[in-house]
Amino acid sequence: MGTESVIEISGLSKSYGSGSKQTLALNRLDLSVMRGEIFGYLGPNGAGKTTTIRLLLDLIRPSAGSASIFGMDIRADSVEIHRRIGFLPGELSLWEGRTGDQIIHYVASVRGDARGIAKHADELAERLDLDKTKRVRDLSSGNKRKLGLVVAMMHSPELLILDEPTGGLDPLVQQTFHDMMDEYRAKGKTVFLSSHVLSEVQAICDRVGILRDGELKAVESVEKITNVEFHWVDVTFRDAVPAGLQGQLENMATITDVSTNGTRIRMRMIGDFDPLLRAISGGYVEMLHVEEPSLEEIFLAFYSGDKEKIQ
Amino acid sequence: MSGIVIGNTLRTSWKQILYWGLGLGVLGLYIDFIAMSPDIISGYADLFKAMPPALLQAFGASDLALFTTSEGWIVSIFVSEAAIFLSIFAVMAGLNITANDEQSGVMDVILSLPISRSAYMLERWIGYALIGLGIVVLCALITVAGIIGMNIDAPQDVIFKSIMNLYPGTLLAMTVTCLLTTVLRRRAVAIGASAAFVVVSYVFNVIGASAGGAIADLMESLSYFSYIQGEAFVIGAYDPVDSVIVLIAVLVGFALSLKMFVSRDIGV
């Protein structure tokens, strides 16, 4: 990760409507994204992630504040900025009646190097296992997403802005995408990636910004976020929850929020699984389900009193 | 301006020239065919004699004597009917300039590319203006070809020019629709407003031309249909100022569309 900032946001705000109907979608955002890093922009739906991205792309105009990309103003220099970035929208819409090849050729033409870009697009499509000859209307949502990724990446941009990039992609393609992001990082390029999936951000990002209700609550390294990670664990017994198990679990330092419902016991757990597995070995375990915490829970754990409780 | 968007617009929408041009051309051939039979035209003339002048005006003719000539019949009927059909095309084209892509979300991808909003809108507008031109030229050629093929005694150049005179009004309806989509944002509302613009303009023209007085004159002058001078070509009274007025309105409307589109949020 370099020391030069690629994205510089200062006091950026966006509100919609007016008077009593005014909604503040983004509130005085300050953020720097450095060259060569993969920055994860995390937040629940409606937190303001897409609004930030649309502001950066000059699709919508800020109510206050400013932002620059590559040191250029996002409004005044938008054409030059767009020449050097690639963008994948969260809700991707493409020309339904046209084939992937036609769309790639058109976008590449607007970018000014149809032949060179199309060659790279072929390579990307092959890696993502995308059939470019099909019309968009005949593509599954996952394949549309792949086409969107090809369009965003085919000119090897210095900065990639990706809004929920892996939604609809199958696990194998997600892995390919993660590899591509690693390659981007290795080439010193920058990625600004929004997501509400923590595991995705953990897998590929260097730093994470956590957005909530339009406000940036924190910018942390992925390691720091990972340290506060916990899991929800559901154990279903064939017969009944063994007597005294709930009390035993409640006394364990790494387990909290234990509740029993029939033959099922649910808890929140951090750290290793071994103590839990030993504790439940007295009964016949029919099902063990481990659930990733929601972003909101991670957020609460990280920034509220829960932080002390789970660490 | 690279012209890439113009080329892409023509590549993806050139069939509209065929569909609309051929459709209107067939209408022209039908009107040519009737022009071969003076009895039918005389029958229409007798019918109109018994009706209020407004009805004749609705058919695009103000002079019954002229209406009974081959060229008067062809120009009056074809131009008045084609003007309505071309207005429908113009509204659809106006929506296609930016509104449909904005509504579908494609505009987010387009405007993330290295092309300014103004260049994109200008190229789209030019693309659809060329398609509109292609339609008018094609239907004019087919209509004139019908006159030649059916051996009708009518001045072909006059009829060609009178049909081509539909073009400025078509551009205006397209531009007004484009402007309304940039101002009103919601596509459905813009469609309604554009349709209202065309219908009100048509009604103003009919009322203005058939009634007398200052208010009627004002109504007529506000209608873009009144600047489409089919008959004027036939009687040699074409005034290019009328076309210039419409083209100035087109330029002003497009400039306002650009200003709105460049300054507002997209897709909100």
Q: How do residues B204-239 score in pLDDT, each as one tens digit?
A: 888 887 777 788 888 888 888 888 877 788 888 888
Q: Residues 6 or more apart from B33 whose CB is under 8 A from it? A: B146, B150
Percentage of chain B exceeding pLDDT 90: 61
User: Regarding beta strands A207-212 and A85-88, do their DSSP bridges make them parallel or antiparallel, or are they unpaired?
Assistant: unpaired
Which of A79, A85, A93 is nearest residue B115 as measured by Cβ atoms? A79
Q: Which residues make beta-bridge pairs with B167?
A: none
Q: Of B169, B192, B172, B168, which Cα lies nearest the Cα of B181?
A: B192
Q: Is B58 a domain residue?
A: yes
Q: Quick one: pLDDT band at residue A22, thresholds 50, 70, 90?
A: confident
Q: What's the one-letter identity of residue A190?
A: T
Q: Which residues of B touch A (CB under 8 A)?
A: 2, 4-5, 8, 12, 104-109, 111-116, 263-268
What mean pLDDT do residues B146-172 have?
93
Query: Looking at residue B22, what is its pLDDT?
Result: 97
Chain-centroid distance of CA B265 in Å reads: 30
Q: Which chain A residues are closer than 8 Å to B8 by Cβ?
A: 106, 109
**What kind of architecture, by CATH, is found in domain A5-227?**
3-Layer(aba) Sandwich (3.40)
A23/B51: higher pLDDT: A23
Q: What is the pLDDT of residue A299?
A: 66
Alpha-carbon distance B87 to B136, whole Å? 12
| Contact check, Cβ <8 Å, A94/B8 | no
Instruction: Name the DSSP class of B190.
Output: H
Neighbours of A284 (CB within 10 A): 12
Is the pLDDT at B98 greater than 50? The verdict is yes
ipTM for the whole predicted complex goes beyond 0.90: no
Identify the residue among A21, A81, A82 best suited for mutation to test binding to B, counting B beta carbons within 10 A and taking the highest: A82
Distance between A1 CA and the closest CA of chain B, angstroms: 25
pLDDT for residue B209: 74
Segment among A23-32, A163-172, B100-109, B240-249 with least mean pLDDT:
A163-172
Euclidean distance between CA atoms B190 and B94, whole angstroms: 10
Q: Domains of chain A: which residue ranges? A: 5-227, 231-292
B177 located within any domain? yes
Confidence (pLDDT) at A306? 45
Rounded distance, CA A249 to CA A275, Å? 9
Comparing CA positions, the residue from B77, B76, B234, B40 lying closest to residue B155 is B234
Banded model confidence at residue B114, pLDDT cuts 50, 70, 90: very high
Taking each helix axis from N to C end, the angle separating B15-35 and B117-149, rounded to the nearest 10 degrees, works out to: 30
Residue of B132, A137, A94, B193 whose CA lies nearest to B124: B132
Structure tokens given for B29: 């051939």
Q: Which of A276, A97, A275 is nearest to A267 (CA)?
A: A276
Pick from B117, B119, B127, B118: nearest CA to B97: B127
Q: What is the pLDDT of residue A295?
A: 62
**Using 50, 70 and 90 to split pLDDT, how confident is the model at A226?**
low
Per the CB < 8 A criterion, the answer to whether A21 and A41 are in contact is no
Please report whether residue B100 resides in a domain: yes
User: Is the per-residue pLDDT at B66 higher than 90?
Assistant: no
pLDDT digits over A24-58, tens only?
999 999 999 999 999 999 888 888 999 999 999 99
- Report the DSSP pairing between strands A159-163 and A85-88: parallel
Q: How far apart are CA A287 and CA A293, in angstroms?
A: 19
CATH for A231-292 (3.40.640.10, 3.30.70.100, 3.40.50.150, 3.30.428.10): 3.30.70.100
Higher pLDDT, A305 or A19: A19
Nearest to B201 by CA among B98, B107, B126, B91: B91
Q: Taking CB atoms and an 8 Å cutoff, what residues of chain A touch B4?
A: 106, 109-110
Q: Is B19 inside any structural domain?
A: yes
Give the residue from A21, A110, A161, A194 with the most B CB atoms within 10 Å of its CB, the best one to mutate: A110
pLDDT band at B54 (very low <50, low <70, confident <90, very high): low
User: pLDDT digits over B11-30, tens only?
Assistant: 999 999 999 999 999 999 99
pLDDT over 50 (residue A12): yes
Overall domain count for chain B: 1
Confidence of residue A112 (pLDDT cuts 50, 70, 90): confident
Among the listed ranges A7-11, A156-160, A222-226, which one has the minimum average pLDDT value? Answer: A222-226
- The answer to whether the Cβ–Cβ distance between B2 and A92 falls below 8 Å is no
Q: Which range, of A26-35, A226-235, B50-59, averages the lowest pLDDT?
A: B50-59
The mean predicted confidence, pLDDT, of chain B is 89
Residue B132 counted as domain residue? yes
pLDDT band at B45 (very low <50, low <70, confident <90, very high): confident
pLDDT at residue A4 in the model = 87
User: Residue B239's pLDDT is what?
Assistant: 86
CA-wise closest residue to B230 among B24, B75, B41: B75
Q: State whether residue B21 is helix, strand or coil.
A: helix
Asked if residues A118 and A105 have their Cβ atoms less than 8 Å apart, the reply is yes
Please check the confidence at residue A256 and state whether its pLDDT lies above 80: yes
Per-residue H/E/C for chain A = CCCCEEEEEEEEEEEECCHHHCEEEEEEEEEEEECCCEEEEECCCCCCHHHHHHHHCCCCCCCEEEEEECCEECCCCHHHHHHCEEEECCCCCCCCCCEHHHHHHHHHHHHCCHHHHHHHHHHHHHHHCCCCCCEHHHCCHHHHHHHHHHHHHCCCCCEEEEECCCCCCCHHHHHHHHHHHHHHHHCCCEEEEEECCHHHHHHHCCEEEEEECCEEEEEEEHHHHHHCCCEEEEEEECCCCCCCHHHHHHCCCCEEEEEEECCEEEEEECCCCHHHHHHHCCCCEEEEEEECCCHHHHHHHHHCCHHHHHC
| Average pLDDT for A123-147 | 94
User: Looking at the predicted structure, is the pLDDT value of residue A88 above 70?
Assistant: yes
Does A307 score more than 50 pLDDT? no
Strands A5-16 and A64-69: antiparallel
For residues A203 and A182, what is the distance between their CA atoms, to the nearest angstrom? 10
Confidence category of residue A302, pLDDT binned at 50, 70, 90: low
| Residue of higher predicted confidence among B185 and B194 | B194
Q: Which amino acid is at A110?
A: V
Q: What is the pLDDT at residue B118?
A: 96
Tokens 């099902």 sit at which residue? A287
Q: Among partner residues B114, B263, B268, which is closest to A83 by beta-carbon distance?
A: B114
Question: Strand pairing partners for A237?
Answer: A285
Q: In the predicted model, what is the mean pLDDT of chain A?
A: 89
Domain hosting B221: range is 4-263
